Amino acid sequence: MLIEPLIPFIDLPDLQIIPKDLIGGNFPPAPLSFKPFGTLVAIGVYLGAYVMLRQGRRLGFDQQALTSFMIWVLAGGFLGGHVLDTIFYYPERVVNNPLSLLAIWNGQSSFGGFVGAIGGGFAWRWKKGVPILPYADVVASGFPVGWLFGRAGCSVAHDHPGRLSDLWIAVQYPDGGRFDLGLYEFVLTIPVVVAFLILQRRPRPWGFYLGVMMIAYAPARFALDFLRARDLPGADPRYGPLTPAQWACFGMLALGGFFFFRAHQSAADVEAFRVPTPPRRAVAE
């Protein structure tokens, strides 16, 4: 018996706040509205930041210094996410218009964001002169919450279509059943969020959350990328047999293993739990 896709294709409309030409004279020239994807991403940024700050407060971090670090990481993440997305997925745009690298609203990639966030963290360390591993681990402890809402946005935008499929887990796209990779990442992130919120109840050695997050994400992303569509315009390029993200998964898994092993080895060391005291310049923006 043929089993058809069971998941409907839900297309959420924009919530219009101000219609076009409300005042007259072609003002505003376009309607102002809340878009489902952007709204969910904004909610994710807010809730993720809230969880990070709450964890930092629980552990005794200076809130101003932690907020400063988070801003640098977030800015680096959005910049790196767009720059590397454009370079590796749309190199022709760079050739035709190098300024496209600055249009951060026009496309983001997950691993580009991770690399950019790391760069933002090291830039903060260079400017402030503070060890960043404890700060990075606090950010990692709350990151899955933000990621959950980001992938929820991808799910309603259906912007990660996969291969055509008649399996029941496929989504009923207009052109037929397809895997929806954004939806699958959203579902897979739920147990990570629950686990991290439970684990936050007691201190962990620095690097623990970074390690666990990378070890959990890399294999899942590596497997899901085999389901990416190849028959649609703008399909992800392959470098050899793998997508850029799949190649990056090897590095992420190795780095995650390093952080997790380091945290495990230092679990008996008091210094592995010590909260850094930032100098004055680290607190001031």
Per-residue pLDDT reduced to its tens digit, 30-41: 666 778 888 998
Name the residue type at position 190.
I
Reduced to 3 states, what is the DSSP secondary structure of residue 267? Answer: coil
The pLDDT of residue 20 is above 70 = no
CA atoms within 13 A on the CB side of 178: 21
The pairing of strands 171-173 and 161-164 is: unpaired
The pLDDT of residue 285 is above 60 = no
Per-residue pLDDT reduced to its tens digit, 48-65: 999 999 999 999 999 999
| Kind plus residue range of the DSSP H or E element containing 162 | strand 161-164
Lowest mean pLDDT, pick from 78-82, 188-192, 210-214? 78-82
The pLDDT of residue 195 is above 70 = yes
Per-residue pLDDT reduced to its tens digit, 89-147: 777 777 777 777 767 667 667 878 888 899 999 999 998 888 899 999 999 999 999 99
The pLDDT of residue 268 is above 70 = yes
Per-residue pLDDT reduced to its tens digit, 239-264: 899 998 999 999 999 999 999 999 99
CA–CA distances in Å: residue 68 to residues 4, 57, 143? 50, 14, 16
14 pLDDT band, cuts 50/70/90, is: confident
Domain segments of the chain as ranges? 35-205
The pLDDT of residue 275 is above 90 = no
Sign, CA dihedral 153-237-83-102, equals: negative
Average pLDDT over every residue of 184-212: 95
The pLDDT of residue 18 is above 90 = no
The alpha-carbon radius of gyration of the chain (Å, integer) is 21
Lowest mean pLDDT, pick from 24-28, 79-83, 184-188, 238-242? 24-28
Beta bridge partners of 7: 171
Which pLDDT score, from 0 to 100, does residue 279 have?
A: 60
Residue 120 contacts residue 75 (beta carbons within 8 Å): yes
Beta bridge partners of 173: 176
What is the overall mean pLDDT for the chain? 86
Average pLDDT over every residue of 213-235: 92
Which pLDDT score, from 0 to 100, does residue 34 have?
A: 75
Which pLDDT score, from 0 to 100, does residue 105 have?
A: 65
Which pLDDT score, from 0 to 100, does residue 101 have?
A: 73
Which pLDDT score, from 0 to 100, does residue 30 have?
A: 65
